[in-house]
Chains A and B, each alone.
Chain A
Amino acid sequence: MRAVSEPSASAAGPSITNDSVIDARDLRMRYGTVDVLRGVDFTVRCGEVLVMLGPNGAGKTTTIEILEGFRMRSAGDVTVLGSDPATAGEDWRARFGVVLQSWRDHGKWRVHELLHHLGRYYAPYATPDRQRPIPTDELIERVGLTGHERKKISALSGGQRRRLDVAVGLVGRPELLILDEPTAGFDPHARREFHDLIHRLSDLEDTTILLTTHDLDEADKLADRVLILAGGRIVADGSPDALARQVSGQAEVRWSVNGQRHVHATTEATPFVRQLFEQHGDRVTDLEVRRASLEDTYITMVQRHESGDAEQAVAEFTGRTDHRQGGS
């Protein structure tokens, strides 16, 4: 699916034939003399939930804004829903939703009033199989703002305000939803509700979702596929599980014998544990076998990148992920 494995796709122009919703090839962005994106390649397939991870300054927001058509790229080819965001018209905008980090806009408006108003812009784009906009009451219920319809937006709590932001992104019944750090500032409860909402969207409406986050746990829960962006490049691309396995095939075994804690890293967890029991029997307590997590992958990747080992890291990862994705 990557550019390196399918060189013919970019030569043939927008490759929307294999149901890709977003297609970025050799995307580059330069501000003055600073390269923010240095050749980013990725594809988002229809119905997929893609999570983009990366440290601050890695280029996540820049990438997102280029895809949204809010920022001009320096070089590369980008296709979003079949059009180039740099030249696509207003009609193209009707097909996807953007969840913005709101601050205090429309403070005097009421929840129902604003969603109804913003939804009306999508009315000319309704099709028989895609009713636009989503009826306001249904939308309010879906994001969990029932009971707050008549509230002034300035009177909403932070979590309610973010749910409103999501509702605004959804009002046009988008084929693609783009969210930049949607859960920043959420409490654990709000975060859980948001995750449920994303799962429902992805399952019921077949909405393709691209989101960025700092939260690895969130990426693990939501993502069909994770991209790790560091220093303006994609340093890893694969499902959370696959990435975790790739960075280290090792598992960590922790146990106690006679009150003494032990830790051992091994690639062969099962034989090791069996051996442990053979040796100590029931004296083994607090046994814990932990597989490498997405967090380990992330830390390793970003560290490798920061220590200047990016080229090797990229080669190693993309090589393996290509191999893995060859059959999909």
Chain B
Amino acid sequence: MNPKAHAARTGLTRGLIEFRQMLTNASDMSFMLIMPGILLVVLYFQRNSEVEGTPLSLAVLSIPGVLGIMVAYLAMMSPAYSLAAEREDGTLLRMKALPHGMTGYVSGRVLGSVLESLVPMVLLLVPTLLLFDGVMSGGPTGWLLLPPMVLLGLLSSLPIGFIIGSLARNPRTIGGWGFLTTGGLAAISGIFFPIIMLPAWLQVLAQIFPVYWIGLGMRSIFLPDEAAAVEIGESWRTLEMLGVLGVWSIIGLALAPVVLRRMARHESGSAVEARRHEAAQRI
């Protein structure tokens, strides 16, 4: 039995246990429901606003982008917040004291964050299919392409989440800054209106981050090809999308283990104790 592989597998059961705890925890679940709930209400009010030149409502045009930002937001925030919170409360140190405990912790966290990201997406997608017509123009091919697209979105965002969580001083910074940055990115990433309506410099800025590209990829799967007319270059730019998200994934996957190891090395009883005092003073 290879101890490291054994620890990684044990970590997966950890991810499942924590996911089950989340599903059976009322406050966690109500938090999970808030985002899809609000978005559904917004989409519902857009159901009758026709978009010029297309047979589709604004709601149907927005859904893929909304799913895209959910992938990006949740996949970044979930590990970032968990990591910062679990470093503060001593979970990480407890895992570090076990043989290959950090391996188990990370594999559990990855699985947990993937599952946590998928739940609100499903909670949004299923009702939209019932409420709106023509959500998926891509047909069976579209449904087949959706899982790999979501996976690529997760892959490009999760490592960034781990890096943010390792660098953050405490979970409260993540809440504030995380919300501001993702909110800002959401506003400029062409989710509720075409990105070509924005000034050129904002378009360039948005295209640096994965959020826009995940949304674009989602639109290319859900929407009919004519809808590409309002995108940059009047195209879905599938190759560019794969390229940018691929680069983000590679950078993230290369950096995240280094940053994580560095952070874990500095964990000790007195470090946890110091943070505990700091947090106690805040309360």
Asked whether, in the complex, the Cβ of B270 is within 8 Å of the Cβ of A103, the reply is no
User: Quick check: is A180 within 8 A (CB to CB) of the other chain?
Assistant: yes
CB-defined contacts of B4 to chain A, threshold 8 Å? 90
Once the chains bind, are A124 and B276 in contact (CB under 8 Å)?
no
A21 adjacent to chain B (CB < 8 Å):
no
- A125 near B269 with CB under 8 A, answer no
Q: Which of B98, B268, B270 has the most CB of A within 10 A?
A: B98
Question: Given A91-B99, A93-B98, A103-B89, A123–B1 Cβ distance below 8 Å?
Answer: yes
B100 touches A90 (CB 8 A): yes
A264 at the binding interface (Cβ < 8 Å) = no
User: Is A117's CB under 8 angstroms from B10's CB?
Assistant: yes
In Å, the complex CA distance between A11 and B14 comes to 45
| A282 on the B face (CB < 8 A) | no
Contacts of A108 in B (CB 8 A): 18, 21, 25
A22 to B: closest C-beta gap in Å: 17
Q: Which residue on chain B has the smallest CB distance to residue A104?
A: B89
B245 neighbours in A (Cβ, 8 Å): none
User: Is residue A317 contacting chain B, with contact meaning CB distance below 8 A?
Assistant: no
Segment 74-105 of B: residues with Cβ below 8 Å from A: 86, 89-91, 93-94, 96-101, 104
Interface size class of B (residues with CB under 8 A): 20 to 34
Q: Which residues of B contact A (CB under 8 A)?
A: 1-4, 6-7, 10, 13-14, 17-18, 21, 25, 86, 89-91, 93-94, 96-101, 104, 267-270, 272-273, 276
Contact of B89 with A105 in the complex, beta carbons under 8 Å: yes
Please tell me if A94 contacts chain B, counting CB pairs below 8 Å: yes
Interface residues of A in 101-129 (CB under 8 A from B): 101-109, 113, 117-118, 120-125
Minimum CB–CB distance from B82 to chain A (whole Å) comes to: 12
8 Å CB contact of A121 from B7, B21, B86, B276: B7
Contact with A93, one of B94, B97, B273 (Cβ below 8 angstroms): B97
- Cβ-defined partner of A101 (8 Å) among B2, B18, B96, B273: B273
Cα distance, A61 to B273, chains bound together (Å): 11
Q: Smallest Cβ distance from A134 to chain B, in angstroms?
A: 14
Task: Using C-beta atoms within 8 Å of the partner chain, give the interface range for chain A.
Answer: 35 or more
- With CB as the reference atom, state the residue of chain A lying closest to B90: A105
Question: Is there a chain B Cβ closer than 8 Å to A168's Cβ?
Answer: yes
Minimum Cβ distance to chain B for residue A35 (Å): 17
Q: Do the beta carbons of B268 and A121 come within 8 Å of each other?
A: no
Alpha-carbon separation in the docked complex, A216 to B7 (Å): 40
Selecting from A63-71, A76-84, A143-151, the interface stretch reads: A63-71
**In whole angstroms, what is the CA distance A5 to B224 when docked?**
85
Q: Is B268 in contact with A94, judged by CB distance below 8 angstroms?
A: no
Does B25 contact A103, Cβ atoms closer than 8 Å? no
Chain B residues contacting A113 (CB-CB under 8 Å) are: 17
Write out the residue numbers on chain A whose beta carbons fall within 8 Å of the beta carbon of B96. Answer: 70
Contact A102 B90 (CB under 8 A): yes
Closest to B87 in A: A105
**Which residues of chain B have C-beta atoms less than 8 A from A71's C-beta?**
268
With A109-B17, A117-B10, A180-B269 in contact, do A100 and B104 touch (Cβ < 8 Å)? no
Measured CB to CB, the nearest residue on chain B to A93 is B99
Q: Which residue of B lies closest to A181 (CB)?
A: B269
Please give, as numbers and ranges, the residues of chain B lying within 8 Å of A94 by CB-CB distance.
3, 99
Chain A residues, CB < 8 A from B86: 105
10 contacts between A and B (CB under 8 A): A70-B269, A90-B99, A103-B90, A105-B89, A106-B94, A108-B25, A118-B98, A121-B99, A121-B104, A180-B269
- Whether A102 and B94, one on each chain, are in contact in the complex, defined by CB atoms closer than 8 angstroms, is yes
Interface pair B89/A100, CB less than 8 Å apart? no
Task: Verify B268–A105 contact, CB threshold 8 A.
Answer: no
Task: Out of A65, A90, A122, name the residue touching B270 (CB < 8 Å).
Answer: A65
Q: Give min CB distance, B26 to chain A, whole Å.
A: 12
Q: Which residues of B contact A106 (CB under 8 A)?
A: 91, 94
- Contact present for B269 and A121 (CB under 8 Å): no
Enumerate chain A residues within 8 angstroms of B270, measured Cβ to Cβ.
Answer: 61-62, 65
